[in-house]
Amino acid sequence: MSSDILTLPTESGDLPVQRWLPPAGTGPGVLLLQEVFGLSDYVRTRAADLAEAGYVVFAPDLYWRLPDAQVAEDDVARGLELAGQLPWDDALADARTAMDALRAAPETTGQIGLVGFCYGGGLAFNLAAQTVPDSLVSYYGSALPTLLPLAREVTCPSLHHFGTADEVIPLETVEKIRDAVTAGHRRVQFFTYDGAGHAFDNPSPAAHHEQASALAWQRTLAFLGAHLSPGQA
């Protein structure tokens, strides 16, 4: 599916946001937050998948503040370098700006969901603690171990995906995350995938786990459909 680019004013300049519309032209909104590789082909493909499923999708280019944000999708070191150069609070503010614009957009007729991968998974969790989205989907949120004090503030229905062979977030830490995000929350779904490593949904041969990716995406679409009701707004 095709997309277009919007610009949203901030105190530091114009934030670029890619937008995908569903076949109906209107629908509930999904804010899609990137991995450390920026708005890669993979992230744009997932945005198009969500639009095809009935959602208006906004994907902000969180690296727009950086003077040189070029990164290949398999260059982990460069991706981590760029993420480290971007102040977390700036990325969070930009995500909030994009979310507010998505909620106010005339083509967004329903609720707002957050979907984030890796870097974006942690950012989405942090944003959900500050705002009131209608749902949250976090894929192996890399910042979650440091964000667990916010877990009680995330009150929307949430879905978390982790691999049992994640080389970035050890299984022991994944279990601590599970305990924190499910404590006192009845509307949390938490899944682990045997043998899947970090970034298992990314199609890069170094990361991809076909079975985990397919099952997690099926669960993601079912979860969003239950809480955002595409086509029924």
Residue pair 163/209 in contact by the 8 Å Cβ criterion = yes
Q: Compute the average pLDDT of residues 130-153.
A: 96
Residue whose structure tokens are 């707004």: 233
pLDDT tens, residue by residue, 51-109: 999 999 999 999 999 999 999 888 999 999 999 999 999 999 999 999 999 999 999 98
Q: What's residue 55's pLDDT?
A: 97
Tell whether 54 is covered by a domain. yes
Structural element, H or E, at residue 19 = strand 13-20
Q: What's residue 230's pLDDT?
A: 59
Number of domains making up the chain: 1
The band of 145, judged by pLDDT with boundaries at 50, 70 and 90, is very high
Tell whether 233 is covered by a domain. no
Distance between the two ends of the chain, CA-based, in angstroms?
22
Tell whether 22 is covered by a domain. yes
Tell whether 136 is covered by a domain. yes
Q: What is the DSSP letter of 148?
A: G
User: DSSP characters for 40-84?
Assistant: -HHHHHHHHHHHHTT-EEEEE-TTTTSS-----TT-HHHHHHHHH
The band of 149, judged by pLDDT with boundaries at 50, 70 and 90, is very high
Q: What's residue 233's pLDDT?
A: 35
> What is the extent of the structural domain holding 119?
3-228
Q: Which residues pair with 5 in a beta bridge?
A: 18
The band of 229, judged by pLDDT with boundaries at 50, 70 and 90, is confident
Cα 190 versus chain centre, distance: 15
Tell whether 193 is covered by a domain. yes
Question: Is the pLDDT confidence value at 232 over 50?
Answer: no
Tell whether 135 is covered by a domain. yes
Q: How far is CA 186 from CA 156, 170, 181, in A?
A: 10, 25, 10
pLDDT tens, residue by residue, 178-202: 999 999 888 999 999 999 999 999 9
Domain CATH number, residue 184: 3.40.50.1820
- Which residue type does 116 have? G
